[in-house]
Structure 1
Amino acid sequence: MRGDTIFSKNHDMESYDIVAEDIDQQMAQSNNVGSSSRSHDREMQVQCEEIVRTMWKDYIKD
């Protein structure tokens, strides 16, 4: 049976746990980077909008 080979003595279950922990850590880091990136994108958008407002005010003054 194919499923039984997973639990045979030839497989080290601890190595599967280590891989799962690594994947969890990578996903957590990825989520932090994504959140940081979205925050940075929002800051850049706000800064861009401020520049546009300033440019528009200068344009309509003339």
Structure 2
Amino acid sequence: MFVRPHLQELIKDEGRWKAYVQQSLIETSISKDIRMLTRVDKPALMKRFFERGCLYSGRILF
């Protein structure tokens, strides 16, 4: 797996790596992609739903 050099140190620290993924990937997807395409009445609820979807990726949720 190729990782950018400045991220090598983050991989060693799981907490920092998770924070990086949360802030750079998940927050960006929510704030820039989804919320710019459509109106979101409850952004906090949508954020939690999105995070759960990431945690259970590939599973069927009921």
Smaller-chain TM-score bracket: 0.3 to 0.5
Judging by fraction of residues, say which structure has more helix: 1
TM-score (norm 1): 0.36
TM-score (norm 2): 0.36
Q: Does 1 or 2 have the higher relative contact order (CA < 8 Å, sep 6+)?
A: 2
